[in-house]
A and B are shown apart, each in its own frame.
Chain A
Amino acid sequence: MNFLLPWIPFLALGLVVEVLVRTEIVPSYLLPATSDVLVSLVRDHKELLGGLESTTIAAVLGLLLSLTLGLFAAVVLSLSERLRHAFLPYAVFFQTVPIIALAPVLVIWFGFGRPTVMASAFIVSVFPMIANSIAGLLAPDPMLLDLFRLHKASRFQTLWKLRLPTAMPSIFTGLKIAAGLAVIGAVVGEFVAGGGLGEVVDAARTQQRLDKVFAAVLLSSFLGLALVGLIDLVSKLFLRSWMRVPK
């Protein structure tokens, strides 16, 4: 039952939009009728699904890049407070950079197509990955760190047997936030570099096809939701079995 609740506002909004447009309270060149969006989803499904596939691949690859490079950066930064002081401000840059302004530069660097889209997805999603991972890596109880020191644990042992397992829940939190952002980054990248749902949106906009714009926007939102949901599911299963953490 609770699973159905979020759909009620969604359907209600669709209904309201439909009524507003059909009664011409809102002109259809400003807002497409819900039914038109649905028709576009069916009629343009080939183009939309092609775009969805391309955006999915770019977003997932960008996210994987964030996961590996972000985690690596976090591990390195967790080793020393001096390193954190020196480099963390630059990690914040990734959080504050206006990706829409940087995207054209990415095209100059990586050309039109997927590499630029991936880079854009990576840039907007890497900061939460780094920040959450560092917080987790620094979270072990000081007494446990003492225990490891007392038994002459190496840095690697402390990392592998204490810091990383302790950080697992935070790493998953970071990955979940990063997943939503990676989709946004990918679509923005596609505006300038082409391909995927971003290009569908941009092209449909110039053709005054608002129904198609909204169909593509809807699909990209669902893509973000699906990625976040998938990671949430994996993290729950993983944390419950391997980490043996009670719910």
Chain B
Amino acid sequence: MLVEIERAQKSFPKTGVVVRSLDLRIPKGQFLCLLGPSGCGKSTLLRMIAGLETPDTGSVRTSDARVSYVFQEPQLLPWRTTLENVMLPLELEGGLSGSELRERARLALVSVGLGESLDKVPHELSGGMKMRASLARALVTKPDLLLLDEPFAALDEVTRFHLQDDLLSYWRGFQMTVVFVTHSMSEAAYLGQRQIVFSKRPANVIADRTTKLVGERSFKQRFSLEFAKEHASEVQELQGLFRSDEEMN
């Protein structure tokens, strides 16, 4: 297991209990989607996995994994070029020479398709390119565990589709574990090997399921009738889980 969460509970003074006595185990190499309504505590859970929050009670263990985090917005530093932005995590962690830093950052940018934009500054990049740069910044440290918090929510649909497919290929290429927070059932059904459905706040697991979608995803396949049908039935199942939760309350 790469991540082991046992009876983790977290509350904040203003919002009260955000995550209630939560158990979750994430095996190495899994692509996991955390799905739930906005403000349900998914992000807090993600931040606990990242070590940015500590649980009030219970425990969160990540067995010394290298962790990278992608935020809702690209969060690039406007005074740095794209290359310098991607170099940042390596700079902070130290131990590499200047030329090594540059080369690793350049390779990461090439792998996300930004090899031509190394010296551009963030305000010269489109929304999709900024998010790609943000992904490159997360991948440059070769993480074991990549955490993403609704990274594509603000992008237009076609860009989002491309980035979803690319993310899946990075996941395979880098052989990492991915935890992807989203409130989009369609996105969770498309991306996740495993989907965990959360209740409204305080977050608790109402369903933990494995996808029935098989095979590699691609932009073209997404629009094939057969795949679209299977995808739709996955979304329907996820929606059913949400509805039963609402009826219970």
CB contacts under 8 Å to A, within B67-123, are 67-69, 71-73, 75, 77-81, 88-89, 91-93, 121, 123
Q: Tell me whether A242 and B51 are in contact in the complex, defined as CB-CB below 8 angstroms, given that A152-B92, A157-B92 are known contacts.
A: no
Q: Tell me whether A151 and B89 are in contact in the complex, defined as CB-CB below 8 angstroms, given that A146-B69, A244-B78 are known contacts.
A: yes
CB of B44 within 8 Å of the partner chain: no
Q: Tell me whether A151 and B93 are in contact in the complex, defined as CB-CB below 8 angstroms, given that A143-B71, A165-B79, A244-B79 are known contacts.
A: yes
Q: Tell me whether A141 and B78 are in contact in the complex, defined as CB-CB below 8 angstroms, given that A146-B52, A151-B92, A161-B88 are known contacts.
A: no
CB contacts under 8 Å to A, within B4-50, are 47, 50
Q: Tell me whether A147 and B123 are in contact in the complex, defined as CB-CB below 8 angstroms, given that A152-B92, A153-B92, A157-B92 are known contacts.
A: no
CB of A1 within 8 Å of the partner chain: no
Q: In whole angstroms, how far apart are the Cα atoms of A152 and B68 in the complex? A: 12
Contact B91 A161 (CB under 8 A): yes
List chain A residues, Cβ under 8 A from B47.
146
Q: Tell me whether A152 and B93 are in contact in the complex, defined as CB-CB below 8 angstroms, given that A143-B75, A165-B77, A244-B78 are known contacts.
A: yes
CB of B204 within 8 Å of the partner chain: no
List chain A residues, Cβ under 8 A from B88.
147, 151, 161
Q: In whole angstroms, how far apart are the Cα atoms of A147 and B75 in the complex? A: 9
Q: How far is the CB of B54 from chain A (nearest CB, A)?
A: 12
Q: Tell me whether A242 and B92 are in contact in the complex, defined as CB-CB below 8 angstroms, given that A146-B69, A149-B52, A150-B69 are known contacts.
A: no
Residues of B within 8 A of A (CB): 47, 50-52, 67-69, 71-73, 75, 77-81, 88-89, 91-93, 121, 123, 141
21 intermolecular pairs with C-beta atoms under 8 Å apart: A143-B72, A143-B73, A146-B47, A146-B50, A147-B88, A147-B89, A150-B51, A151-B89, A151-B141, A152-B93, A153-B92, A157-B91, A161-B88, A162-B77, A165-B77, A165-B79, A243-B78, A244-B79, A244-B81, A245-B78, A245-B79
Q: Kindly list the 8 A-B residue pairs having the minimum CB-CB distance in the complex, ordered from nearest.
A: A151-B92, A153-B92, A151-B89, A244-B121, A243-B79, A143-B71, A246-B123, A165-B79
